[in-house]
Amino acid sequence: GFKFYGIRPGSLPKLIGMKNGDMVTRVNGEALTSLDDAMELYTKLKTAKTIQLSIDRKGQSLAITLRFR
């Protein structure tokens, strides 16, 4: 997964409810285990209407769903 730090007020991660130390473990059900995984997912998600993030926050699993118009 990818851990987020230094989330600033007004930034996209902050606006969707993420906090410093959150780790994104899956995107649309696909595991993030490497930078290559992230780059491959990025190309797939460019035109996505919905993105589901699985997040680990201090040992708790959370889900965030983003919908685009």
Domains with residue ranges and CATH for the chain:
2-67 (2.30.42.10)
Structure tokens at 30: 């696909």
Count of beta carbons in the 10 Å neighbourhood of residue 22: 22
In whole angstroms, give the CA distance from residue 53 to residue 2: 11
pLDDT tens sequence for the chain (69 residues)? 889 999 999 998 999 999 999 999 999 999 998 888 888 888 888 888 999 999 999 999 999 999 988
CB-CB contact of 9 with 15 (8 Å) = no
In whole angstroms, give the CA distance from residue 53 to residue 56: 10
Global pTM? 0.83
